[in-house]
């Protein structure tokens, strides 16, 4: 059989309704060769059975957490590019994978291609965009200061499978292994990447990584320390502190008054 261009992987545990909604969305994609598989951590609510009824390939095995489950999913995948779509998330339309396939060919098969995301996460200052989510336009170039401050939602990552096989996710992270992976991939390994300036996925956001916690902050600090020097961390922390004040007093109050394309760009800066 010909190797599919994409393997889309969903990791599940007792989330049957959300998993079925995501599976139906992935199965509706057209115009690209795609393998869809679900790595289920031994759910007891019928998740695996309901997905199997849709014809989805489900791998049911124990795991030690989401990143171990994701590594297991990669081991079972055969596509040239891997995309992780969590239960409850979805692609922004039926032609997304076709458009991503076109971009991969046009831009000489980068190691890492990322699109833009519509986030349903409730921002403490911007809300959820009147219930429609906030479109976030990421920059074309990922400089060190931007990566210090920001994360690209993993739902819009398309990464060569070989990269994940060479270096799996660090399973001693419980919340931010994907952020640590992004830093490592772009700043240390210097993979070839390209930004597709198009809404690719809708991020449900109902996860532990979206909520502040002491453990989340500790993992962020650890991830940053692996790729930034101490003087960079001190400098960026100082600059970022001033930016937070500016955002809260000037930028955030202005954003809801702007057209969506401008709001999206400001959200990604």
- Answer whether residue 131 shows pLDDT above 60: no
The dihedral through the CA atoms of 143, 104, 177, 205 has a sign that is positive
What pLDDT band is residue 144 in, cutting at 50, 70 and 90? very high
State the Cα–Cα distance between residues 135 and 264, nearest whole angstrom: 5
Write the CB contacts of 134 (distance below 8 Å, at least 6 apart in sequence). Answer: 118, 119, 121, 123, 126, 128, 263, 264, 267
The residues, ordered by sequence, that sit 6+ positions from 227 with a Cβ below 8 Å of its Cβ are 183, 184, 187, 188
The DSSP result for 223-249, as a single string, is HHHTTS-HHHHHHHHHHHHHHHHHIII
Q: Which of 44-53, 91-100, 253-262 has the lowest mean pLDDT?
A: 253-262
Q: Provide the H-helix boundaries in 63-160.
A: 66-76, 96-106, 144-149
Q: How many angstroms separate the CA atoms of 52 and 115, rounded? A: 29
- When the pLDDT of each residue in the chain is averaged and rounded to a whole number, the result is 90
Predicted TM-score of the model (pTM): 0.90
Burial class (CB in 10 A: 0-12, 13-18, 19+), 266: middle
Cα–Cα distance measured from residue 230 to residue 232, given in angstroms and rounded to the nearest whole number: 5
CATH superfamily of 6-268: Spore Coat Polysaccharide Biosynthesis Protein SpsA; Chain A (3.90.550.10)
Sequence spans of domains, the chain? 6-268
> Tell me, what's the pLDDT at 132?
74
Residue that is written with structure tokens 């449900």 in the block: 204
Confidence of residue 122 (pLDDT cuts 50, 70, 90): low
């Amino acid at each position: 059989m010909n190797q599919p261009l994409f393997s889309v992987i969903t990791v599940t545990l007792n989330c049957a309704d959300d998993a079925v909604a995501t599976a139906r969305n992935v199965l509706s994609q057209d115009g690209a060769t795609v393998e869809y598989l679900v790595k289920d951590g031994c759910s007891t609510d019928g998740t695996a059975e309901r997905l199997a009824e849709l014809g989805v390939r489900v791998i049911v095995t124990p795991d030690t957490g989401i990143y171990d489950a994701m590594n297991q999913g990669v081991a079972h995948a055969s596509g040239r590019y891997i995309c992780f779509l969590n239960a409850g998330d979805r692609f922004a339309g039926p032609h997304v994978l076709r458009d991503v396939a076109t971009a991969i060919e046009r831009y000489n098969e980068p190691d890492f291609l990322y699109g833009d995301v519509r986030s349903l996460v409730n921002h403490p200052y911007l809300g959820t965009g009147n219930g429609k989510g906030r479109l976030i336009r990421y920059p074309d170039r990922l400089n060190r200061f931007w990566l210090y401050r920001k994360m690209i939602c993993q739902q819009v990552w398309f990464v060569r499978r070989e990269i994940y096989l060479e270096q799996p996710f660090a399973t001693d992270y419980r919340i931010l292994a994907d952020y640590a992976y992004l830093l490592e991939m772009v700043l240390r390994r210097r993979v070839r990447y390209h930004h597709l300036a198009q809404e690719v996925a809708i991020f449900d956001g109902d996860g532990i990584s979206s909520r502040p916690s002491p453990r989340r902050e500790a993992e962020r600090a650890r991830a940053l320390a692996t790729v930034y020097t101490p003087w960079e961390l001190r400098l960026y922390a100082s600059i970022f502190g001033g930016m937070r004040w500016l955002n809260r007093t000037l930028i955030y109050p202005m954003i809801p008054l702007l057209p969506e394309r401008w709001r999206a760009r400001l959200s990604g800066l």
